[in-house]
Amino acid sequence: MGISISRPVVIKAIVTESFKRLYIQDLEDAIKRVDAFEQQLDSQIRRAELERTVTPQSRALRQQLELERARQEATRAELETRLREALQLVLNSEFAQGTVESLVEVKVGDNLFTKLSRAEIVVKDGIILEIREE
């Protein structure tokens, strides 16, 4: 009798022209969304500054807006870093795209470390080319 436990599986993409183009486009779109959101935040911050009476609630709101603005700036910087890296991707190289969870069956007598060892799925333009288990 065994049980199923989950383990992470790394998804690696073979870099092709179409993968690189789509990945760069996704990052550029995400940066545009962050920019638009930052503009909305800036507008709300300016409105808060124009209020004649400063209440504890308006001060708290302004602090929340400033905190969210800082978070968006950090997100934008991270996206720009990823975009610079994406522009440098070499065709036919492997790119770690993310992870998914997989179930693995374990039973008495199995080597747990072997069962939970790193697993990878290699894809090229969405097609699975290889499944690797160490």
Q: DSSP letters along the chain, please?
A: -EEEEEEEEEEEEE--HHHHHHHHHHHHHHHHHHHHHHHHHHHHHHHHHH-SS--HHHHHHHHHHHHHHHHHHHHHHHHHHHHHHHHTPPTT-EEEEEEEEEEEEEETTS-HHHHTS-EEEEEETTEEEEEEE-
CA distances from 35 to 5, 15, 26, 62, 80 (A): 41, 28, 14, 19, 12
* Entry pTM: 0.76
Q: Which amino acid is at 81?
A: T
The pLDDT tens digits of the residues spanning 52-85 come to 677 787 778 888 988 999 999 999 999 999 999 9
Distance in angstroms (rounded) separating the CA atoms of residues 8 and 112: 14
pLDDT for 30-40, tens place per residue? 999 999 999 99
Q: Which of 24, 7, 1, 33 is nearest to 95 (CA)?
A: 24
Is residue 90 pLDDT above 80, yes or no?
Answer: yes
Closest CA to 122 of 14, 8, 16: 14
